[in-house]
Amino acid sequence: MRTAYQEQLSSLTVQLGEMCGLAGVAMERATQSLLQADLALAEQVISDHDRITEISARAEEAAFLLLALQGPVAGDLRAIVSGIQIVADIDRMGALALHVAKIARRRHPQHALPEEVNGYFAEMGRVAVELSRSAQEVLETLDPDKAARIREEDDAMDDLHRHLFSVLMDKDWKHGVTAAVDVTLLSRFYERFADHAVEVARRVIFTATGSFPEDGTFEEPR
Amino acid sequence: MRTAYQEQLSSLTVQLGEMCGLAGVAMERATQSLLQADLALAEQVISDHDRITEISARAEEAAFLLLALQGPVAGDLRAIVSGIQIVADIDRMGALALHVAKIARRRHPQHALPEEVNGYFAEMGRVAVELSRSAQEVLETLDPDKAARIREEDDAMDDLHRHLFSVLMDKDWKHGVTAAVDVTLLSRFYERFADHAVEVARRVIFTATGSFPEDGTFEEPR
């Protein structure tokens, strides 16, 4: 039989997984709003953001109460401390999706992106959503092997980010400085979103094993 | 007489203050390296960064041990949990100073900045260093009034960031896309550095009072 304590612990995990799922949905919709200059979808991402903030506050409070009332030790204590740190990472993922949606809204009815770079952002969006799904799975399964595979997805994001910058800095960039500024910020937002998903997985590994991988599989996010 | 427990608690605070001080020094030097295309100074910021990472790991471990071994309650528990969150914010401040130094290094022997925007970055650097000093003071004094004044400094940063973007997006921008991309990223790094300093102060207030200010004095960082 599960105790109330175990219920509270697993409810914290459920909240983290839910937040991660919502951040992924937000980034998926933000990317669509960006690619299609879809104002309604951008507005939806912006208004849905409160939901992530709410769960974030609740998860942080739940973790604090577990510490205050249950005096957890060893692995449980580690899991709760990681949970508090993970809340901040997922919170940030949600904020980055919000930023993407706000740029789409700011440029509406124009497209923020020159058509030339649409493909890059479609792909960055796909990888970002994939990463948030993987992070959510890792949160729910605590599977270190799955966590390690997140790194490959993040490498794909870094490649896209790098290629995009070489397109931007090419002398043939014809879309002016405003578009360059938007593309620079947007690319940074996707890259940071990915970094935070990697960091979530890195912390889950820490929870599961008590140490971070030393083999460079998980680099510090930039 | 102070107990070993109280010593450990105050040593955590000292570590956080020290990290915050180092992040401020890093940003001060990174700004100089940027403004003067000073490669040696940029390299120094980059090699000194490990020190921040080390204290960060030690502070996180110290907080964890306090939770594991001392079973703190009430205000102390709150302070330690905040400490864990604050470590992440200051860590990020250090990483942002590092990013500034890396851009200075990448463009050397050229200046990364067109002369036209030097003044903005000199001022953003000054405000950033000021904010890190204020955050350090707040950490060391737990003074909510001082924390509230941080907001004004952050408003100054937001104004600079906004003005700079209007300079960038002006049709008269003559410095090309590469400079625009660098200026965009750099401006974002200074703005985020400031946001994290504000967040440190916000968490200190939470520690001191048990609740975040509700009057909008402390907005969520972007």
**What is residue B212's predicted lDDT score, i.e. its pLDDT?**
58
Residue B180 to residue A185, Cβ atoms within 8 A: no
- Residues sharing a CB contact under 8 Å with residue A212, sequence separation 6 or more, in sequence order: A202, A205, A206, A218
- In B, which residues are within 8 Å of A67 by CB distance? 67, 77, 81
Phi and psi angles of residue A3, each rounded to the nearest 5 degrees, phi first: -85, 165
ipTM: 0.92
- How far is A62 from chain B, CA to nearest CA, in Å? 13
- The alpha-carbon gap from A166 to the nearest alpha carbon of chain B, in Å, equals 10
Whether A216 is covered by a domain: the verdict is no
Name the residue among B71, B74, B177 with its Cβ closest to that of A173: B177
| CATH number reported for the structural domain that contains residue B45 in this entry | 1.20.58.220
**Full domain range(s) for residue A46:** 4-209
- Best of A99, A102, A169, A181 to disrupt the B interface (most B CBs within 10 Å) is A181
Residue A219 within a domain: no
Scanning A37-73, the segments in alpha helix (DSSP H) are 39-70
Least confident of A146-150, B27-31, B35-39: A146-150
pLDDT at B136 over 60: yes
Q: In the predicted model, is pLDDT for residue B213 greater than 60?
A: no
In angstroms, the Cα distances linking A46 to A26, A94, A102, B22 are 9, 10, 7, 36
pLDDT at A211: 63
Give residue B119's pLDDT.
97
CA dist., res. A159 & res. A176, Å (int): 24
Residue A197, in any domain of the structure = yes
Q: Does residue A34 lie within any of the structural domains?
A: yes
DSSP three-state, residue B63 = helix
Average pLDDT, chain B: 91
Instruction: Please tell me the distance in Å from B178's CA to the nearest CA on chain A.
Output: 5
User: Between B68, B74, B77, which is nearest A73 by CB?
Assistant: B68
> Residue-wise over B46-70: b if at least 16 C-beta within 10 A, else e?
bebbeebeebbeebbebbeebbeeb
Sign of CA dihedral A46, A51, A52, A58: positive
Q: Which of B218, B169, B79, B199 is nearest to A185 (CA)?
A: B169
> Is B181's CB within 8 Å of A180's CB?
yes
Residue B20 within a domain: yes
- Please report residues of A whose CB lies closer than 8 A to that of B184: 180-181, 184-185
- Residue B174, amino acid: K
In a domain, A217, yes or no: no
B169 closest CB neighbour out of A53, A64, A177 = A177
**Contacts of residue B199 in chain A, CB cutoff 8 Å?**
none
What's CA A135's distance to the chain center, in Å?
8
Decide if B149 is inside a domain.
Answer: yes
Distance from CA of A101 to the nearest CA of B (A): 13
pLDDT reading at A216 higher than 90: no
Judge whether residue A1 has pLDDT over 70: no
As to burial, measured by CB atoms within 10 angstroms (0-12 exposed, 13-18 middle, 19+ buried), residue A141 is middle
Instruction: Give the pair of three-digit tokens for residue B17.
Output: 């203050």
Q: According to the model, what pLDDT value does residue B1 have?
A: 58
pLDDT of residue A8 exceeding 70, the answer is yes
Q: How many domains does chain A have?
A: 1
A131, pLDDT greater than 90: yes
CA distances from A158 to A62, A162, A187, B177 (A): 35, 6, 10, 21
CA triplet B203, B155, A96: central angle to 5 degrees? 65
Task: Report yes or no on A88 lying in a domain.
Answer: yes
Report the alpha-carbon distance of residue B102 to residue B42 in Å, rounded. 7
Task: Tell me the percentage of chain A whose pLDDT exceeds 70.
Answer: 94
Mean pLDDT, residues B99-110? 97
The Cβ-side half-sphere exposure at A145, using a 13 Å CA radius, reads 0
**Mean pLDDT, all residues of chain A:** 91
Highest mean pLDDT, choosing among B14-28, B70-84, B192-206: B14-28
User: pLDDT at residue A2 above 80?
Assistant: no
Q: Do A71 and B71 touch (CB under 8 A)?
A: yes
Contact A222 B99 (CB under 8 A): yes
